[in-house]
Structure 1
Amino acid sequence: MGERKITGFGFAQVFEITLGNTILSIGEPDMDLFAKVAKIPPEKFSDKKAKSVSEWVTSVEAETGRLPSKEEVRDAFVEVFEREIGVKLVEQERTEEEEAIRQKWRAMAGSDQHTFKISSSRRFQDKKRDQELLFGRFKGRKLIVSHLLLNSEGKIDDVMFSGDFYARPDAYLWDMEKSLKGLDPTNEDELLKTIKETYSKPGWEIPMVDPKDFTQAINIALKQRE
């Protein structure tokens, strides 16, 4: 595949269990539809040879010239996981405890609060006339997006971070946003010191994202005022 993407991995904490998610492009996808739905910003491709989704994503069918069956894909995944991780995968029905967790997750995931948890239109829908909402994107090893709400004195009233990165536990990310309220966004040293406090918390995981990536996203948002 060279530098083209055919799969993606992610992990999520679902109450008492950790889930590993895998997305694999088996058949050739409708990239025009995907681009419209995903709304991938151009910064995503700033460090890649590909400059669009259609150039970046490939599939098993495109690479091999045939569409494998679901059984072939399943068996291939099982073989590789068992070999690389060194465990024996056993197929079985969900336990009552696992089913209870699944139903609990479904109820939460389908809620309005969860669906719009990271929504700038919802988060800042009560913006006042004397407040200024700025937007910035910074692409380091991962993409960081900042929505910056400033008051009439130019201090931070609210900030929301999103983008193409993994952070766990997510509550630490929300706490980090809250910790920046009241600060001067032009004082990068103070911002960086405050953000680093989250990085020092036990159990904080945010691979391939440095504290300065967040201040860079804020700086880019501030450039809207120039």
Structure 2
Amino acid sequence: MSWRYVNLPPQDGYHMVTSFVSVADYVSGGGKNTLLLFGVKEPFVNVGVHQEVWLEVDLEYTKKMGIPVVRRDLGGGTVVITPGEQDFFLVVRQEDAPSTPSALYQKFLTPIVNVIRSYGIEATLKDQDIVVKGKKISGNGAMSRGKAVVVTGNILLNLDVELMSKCIRVPSEKFRDKMAKDMREWLTSIKDEIGYVPPKEEISRKIKEEFERELNVKFEDSNLTPEEIEEWEKLAIEKVNESWVYFKDNRHPDLRTERCVKINSSLALCHIDYKARKLLRVTVRVFNKVIDEVSISGDFFVMSPPGFLERLEDFLKGTVPSMVETKIKEFFEKEKPVIFGFTQEDLVKVFNELMNKPEIQEII
């Protein structure tokens, strides 16, 4: 079976997060399964599609330093992408991909595990990440688009922990120092493990060879089609638009709180961070004894259907607290989402906890 192998020069952040989208459209239209490799020209902050920027990014620092904040079409958490990593994007037809996230990651990340192990590093797959003795050395994600499935990820070659810690939002500078220390304890790189960074050409070759071996396919060296490049340029320009970067923030401008507060006898705002398999952030506004507005964000992955989260938020508006669990179950049964990071039961727990907060109990 012949697949396409495309190795490109370094790109900016807007082109990085849109490359696999145009390739997914090509594959959906009957094109060959594609492995795309390249790195980034300069650092940027990469925000997950389900995250609120104000909760995740130190915008004062990124604006001061001219570091772009780019929202991708993929779930997961906020990461700082630097030239010190090798990025890969695998796009395959839906019928060639396992239907469950765990099987998907097992199949398509094993080649990356093998590449890291080839340097004598004890790498193992843990959910969608690759770790070395508990430390992440490769962060990955997946999404569906049309008739294609996309798996994206990286291999951390050399860490810039100081830059990473400065771009992420923290409650205080003291906490930032702790974050930098924590990052060193849960992140690692090829250089940290073996003392040097192998040439990227070597790593690219190994990635190509391991995918061929593990998947029993043959790659043909190729380029993107003119149609892919045209769409890619269009998508990259759209990603620069602040209405996209801040779409989640602008969707809920009145829900910016990280605590619970009773505004008056009929209005309360309440926020919870809940650690399911991934982080789930939920904020609600309760007005006149019903849920008036909901924001659901976090570093999880909603692989399908598109727009599920926003429709769920809208569906819960006007719900009386006693009916939240029923409404969530009804919506999940109707839409049958494929989610990696939290379950329907997790979401019910979050809303039950929110509705039992004293600030909300006082007004309902």
State the TM bucket, normalised to the shorter chain. 0.7 to 0.9
Higher deviation after alignment, 78-87 or 67-76: 78-87
Partner of 2:153: 22
Do the aligned partners of residues 32 and 101 (structure 1) sit closer, same or farther apart at CA in structure 2, a change above 3 Å counting? same
Do the aligned partners of residues 109 and 5 (structure 1) sit closer, same or farther apart at CA in structure 2, a change above 3 Å counting? same
Question: C-alpha distance in 1, partners of 2:170/2:220?
Answer: 37
Aligned Cα RMSD in Å?
2.8
Cα pair 1:82 1:89 within 8 Å, conserved = yes
Cα pair 2:279 2:341 within 8 Å, conserved = no
Tell me the SS of whatever aligns to 2:270. strand
Q: Quick one: which amino acid aligns to residue 338 of structure 2? A: E
Q: Quick one: which amino acid aligns to residue 161 of structure 1? A: I
Q: How many pairs align?
A: 210
Partner of 1:48: none
Question: Which stretches in structure 2 are left out of the alignment for 5+ residues?
Answer: 1-131, 172-180, 256-262
TM-score (normalised: structure 1) = 0.79
Out of 31, 34, 58, which is 2:164 matched to?
34
Q: Quick one: which amino acid aligns to residue 180 of structure 1? A: L
TM-score (normalised: structure 2) = 0.51
Partner of 1:44: none
Question: C-alpha distance in 2, partners of 1:33/1:220?
Answer: 36
Aligned pair 1:98/2:233, yes or no? no
TM-superposed deviation, 1:138? 0.6
TM-superposed deviation, 1:144? 0.6
Tell me the SS of whatever aligns to 2:197. coil
Partner of 1:197: 330
Once the two structures are superposed, residues 66-102 of structure 1 have per-residue CA deviations (whole angstroms, 9 ceiling, x without a partner) of: 1111112111211222222332233311112212321
Q: Quick one: which amino acid aligns to residue 160 of structure 1? A: S
Do the aligned partners of residues 116 and 136 (structure 1) sit closer, same or farther apart at CA in structure 2, a change above 3 Å counting? same
Cα pair 1:149 1:157 within 8 Å, conserved = yes
Specify which structure has the bigger relative contact order, considering alpha-carbon pairs within 8 angstroms and separated by 6 or more residues. 2
Question: C-alpha distance in 1, partners of 2:344/2:293?
Answer: 18
Q: Quick one: which amino acid aligns to residue 24 of structure 1? A: I
Partner of 1:212: 345
Out of 174, 178, 186, which is 2:314 matched to?
178
Which residues of 2 match residues 12-161 of structure 1 at below 5 A?
Answer: 12-13=143-144, 18-27=149-158, 29-39=159-169, 52-119=182-249, 122-126=250-254, 131-151=267-287, 153-161=288-296
Tell me the SS of whatever aligns to 1:93. coil
Q: Quick one: which amino acid aligns to residue 148 of structure 1? A: V
Q: Quick one: which amino acid aligns to residue 135 of structure 1? A: H
Larger strand share, 1 or 2: 2
Question: C-alpha distance in 2, partners of 1:12/1:30?
Answer: 28
Cα pair 2:268 2:285 within 8 Å, conserved = yes
